[in-house]
Amino acid sequence: MQEADGRTEGKRKNTGSQRLWRRSLRTFYSGYGKEAEGSQSIFQTYKETGYVLDPHTAVAKVVADRYAYEQGRRDKCLVVSTASPYKFSPDCFKGF
């Protein structure tokens, strides 16, 4: 039996927007980093650039670096950081 909104009882109709949504999800990558990897990322970034990453951004960098390695890509990547390393001072200096 078909519902008024186009759904079949118990099943949803596969619309173009749903197909587009599924296709667009293939462009995203997700991952995680362990605490030690984040600390290493903070230390390494500081050593190379003089900038202290906050723990959240450090994990984002770990994931971005892993993606680049796995995909064999050297493209530029934008990581948007909203946290301050000063808020997480004790965590930021674990790797030093």
pLDDT tens digits, 43-88: 999 999 999 999 999 999 999 999 999 989 888 888 888 888 888 8
- pLDDT computed for residue 43 by the predictor: 94
- pLDDT computed for residue 22 by the predictor: 82
Question: Per-residue pLDDT for 40 more than 90?
Answer: yes
Phi–psi pair at 35, nearest 5 degrees: -55, -45
Phi–psi pair at 38, nearest 5 degrees: -65, -45
Measuring CA to CA, which residue among 62, 54, 39, 61 is closest to residue 88? 54
Measuring CA to CA, which residue among 87, 91, 79 is closest to residue 43? 91
CA-to-CA separations, 85 to 5, 10, 34, in angstroms, rounded: 50, 50, 18
- pLDDT computed for residue 23 by the predictor: 83
Contact between 14 and 23 under an 8 Å Cβ cutoff? The reply is no
- pLDDT computed for residue 5 by the predictor: 55
- pLDDT computed for residue 26 by the predictor: 80
